[in-house]
Amino acid sequence: MSGVIVLVELEPSTEVLDAGEVEVGARVRWVHAAPGDPDAGGDPGPVTFCGIDTDELEREEYRPAGPGEPWYPPSQRTRRCRACEAALRSL
């Protein structure tokens, strides 16, 4: 899976604090994969394997430890994009 860059799609979340203020945080909605941009050493290409614009996503520094390891962070197994995964299997 070399050359695959892992990106996360964040979902805004809000919490009401005691003083009535709202604190906005973010949590992972989906984990996507994108091919590396051959002209931008280490940056993702313009779209993920499922077709989402990579400018809208945050980079995840996860890299598989070795052959047979998942392309996504194991802690995000339930959040992996099935369309990206299908595209990666067909490579």
Total domain count, the chain = 1
Domain coverage including residue 39: 4-89
- State if pTM tops 0.95: no
Across the chain, what does the average pLDDT equal?
87
Instruction: Tell me the C-alpha distance between 73 and 18, whole Å.
Output: 34
Q: What is the pLDDT of residue 91?
A: 87
Instruction: Give the whole-number percent of the chain exceeding pLDDT 90.
Output: 63
Q: What is the pLDDT of residue 24?
A: 58
DSSP 41-82: TTSB-SB-TTS-BGGGSEE-----SSTT--SS-GGGGGGB-H
Q: What is the pLDDT of residue 27?
A: 85
Q: Are 35 and 5 in contact (CB under 8 A)?
A: yes
Q: Are 53 and 88 in contact (CB under 8 A)?
A: no
pLDDT digits (tens, 9 = 90+) for 22-59: 555 668 999 999 999 988 878 999 999 999 999 999 99
